[in-house]
Chains A and B, each alone.
Chain A
Amino acid sequence: MIIDRDKWQEIFSTINKNKLRTFLTGFSVAWGIFMLIILLGSGQGLQNGVQHQFANDATNSLWIYQGLTTKPYQGMNAGRKIQFTNADYIRTKNLDSRINHISGRSRVGSKTISYKNNYGSYSIRAVDPAHRFIENTIITKGRFLNRMDLEHFSKVVVIGNAVDKDLFKHGANPIGKYVKIGDIPFEVIGVFKAAGGNGEIRKVFIPVSTAQRVFNGGNRLDQIAFTVGNATLAQTKQIEKEVRYEFARAHHFDPADRRAIHISNNLADYEKVMNLFLGIRIFIWIIGIGTIIAGIVGVSNIMMIVVKERTKEIGIRKALGATPRSIIGLILLESVVITSLAGYLGLMAGVGLLELVNKYMPPTDFFRNPQANLSIALIAMALLVIAGAIAGFIPAKNAASIKPIDALRDE
């Protein structure tokens, strides 16, 4: 039935007869789909941008920062500084089985790093080997810190690619070379880049044990960061609570004192942002569908006029033996063809524009890779066919209920 040549011939001949009218009708639908695709694509671009920022850190990571107590507790005054030590690292590690990567961090600050005549000031991160899983770090040359480095207090350093470029000119291989951090020589064992933005690459990583020994750190740590595998948000909240309780017990502060330690839960932040995007997406769909409904009403209107104009023809067909079903099919198919065709053009225009933006607009921190993916395009197409059917339904029913005798009288 659908590939019946006569039906198509009829549809295209009526479309042909009223080119401008068909164009104007189709335009409203095309515009609706165009806007929907642009909006969805931009929403996706915004989301991609923000998601890219999160790529820097594992989205399932929790960070514990030390703070000042704000409540007197067990005879101690408020305003006491909580200082983390290696014991806190062990404590956290044994806290929950879901914790899979953990790293203490000791503050060293910025130091001058030099190689031969080249030097610069870079911030030093004293971390555990597991740190690379917490802040997604990609090794481009050599290797990252390992357990041996940590246990032997090795003076080794993994440098950011900007540091590599600054110190090792003309593409010299930095691996195995010794750089001076302050006055102390460290062997370069690797070069890294960050999965996220550009900020991280002017940094170097050294083993936290070495940092404590070389830069007078004692057994002190400043931050503890860990990832929680595929724990759910609720589970990370639970772990957060456990951390707070354990630290409160060990450091003698009130577990209700939110300022004694700070815990930043990346998953919570991530989910918050993703929820925001879900909201934006729903909003976009509502606007888009609203626009399409306006288009549907337009198509429906035109189909009403088409049926009115073709009353006589429909009467003739009925006199020749056309069933109501074949008449309904004719009108419905025409409506579906107009909306689908116009919608398809709108879809293509929208996707085309997004592709252009994608190609010629450099990605920023908040906007990158705007795109309407295939599933959205397919949903949009399905929506169009349904829209066309809805738009044609009432006119088609009107057409089918025309009595042949009334139709023939119509001049």
Chain B
Amino acid sequence: MIRLENIHKSYRMGKNKLHVLKGIDLHIKQGELVSIMGSSGSGKSTLLNIIGILDNYDEGKYFLDKTLIKGLSEKKAAFYRNKMLGFVFQSFNLIPFKNAMENVALPLYYQKIPRKKRNKKALEYLEKMGLRPWAEHLPNELSGGQKQRLAIARALITRPKVILADEPTGALDSKTSMEVMELMRQINHEGITMIIVTHEQDIAEQTDRIIHLKDGRIENDAISTETKQKVFETLVEEEAAVV
């Protein structure tokens, strides 16, 4: 589903060049539940943004569902984001003046689906998320967990191939975090590929595969329980070294 070949990315900071990704090779198959871990500055968010076509890359090749994603026009990029990808953000990124139903229906608006049809569909997804009674509420009238479920409903409504989540539980308490993760796993079971960037061990533990980024390179690609445990240990060491 996702194939990255020798991806490089650097940011220009005035005169300095900051090399963030230094050759990433990664293959994620359809239906995988993957987490990306790494200390801050490891390039994990940048990687997610490139996969999400929210950012471009300098070198290498990125195939999304066998399509080469490189140097796309804004219009094409918008098309792929809309059709193939769903986003879940740490800060929810809901539109404050639209009610829950309208927020969920927004991606369908950009598919030019008629208002009635997309609102009907939005209500279906709200029902699935247990948010049906809040359909007419504005985002600021909802709790953190509700907001994130709303955001997930919005990400799901276009039936995307891949869902990208950037610290989806970062703003939630541990109980709601677990509820949200449970939801994400369910969605994954329906066959949607899911990539989660997180620094929380108990979140990463629930994913099938952990990719550990360090200094713009893949340090570890862990599937078994032992290798996963090793990733967690190295991460703790990394953080200790920073302190």
Contacts and interface: CB of A to CB of B under 8 A. Distances in A.
Given A6-B109, A324-B75, A400-B74, A319 B93 contact: yes
Interface stretch (B26-34, B48-56, B180-188): B48-56
A143 B158 CA distance: 87
Interface string B58-94: 0000000000000000110011011100010100011
Interface of A: 5-6, 10, 13-14, 17, 312-313, 315-326, 400, 403-405, 408
Contacts of A313: 95
11 contacts: A6-B115, A13-B97, A14-B97, A17-B97, A317-B106, A317-B110, A318-B81, A319-B93, A323-B74, A400-B74, A404-B54
A14 B96 CA distance: 11
B12 to A, nearest CB: 14
B54 A408 contact: yes
Given A6-B109, A317-B106, A323 B89 contact: no
Contacts of A325: 75
Given A5-B115, A6-B109, A405-B49, A316 B95 contact: yes
Nearest to A316: B93
A321 B75 contact: no
B154 interface: yes
A315 B49 CA distance: 13
B147 to A, nearest CB: 13
B4 to A, nearest CB: 17
Nearest to B73: A324
B97 A324 contact: no
B93 to A, nearest CB: 5
Nearest to A315: B93
A408 B92 CA distance: 11
A400 B154 CA distance: 22
B89 A324 contact: no
Contact of A319 (B52, B109, B111): B52
Given A319-B87, A408-B89, A408-B93, A324 B82 contact: no
Contact of B81 (A320, A326, A403): A320
A189 B109 CA distance: 82
Interface in B86-134: 87, 89, 93-95, 97, 102, 106-107, 109-111, 115
A318 B78 contact: yes
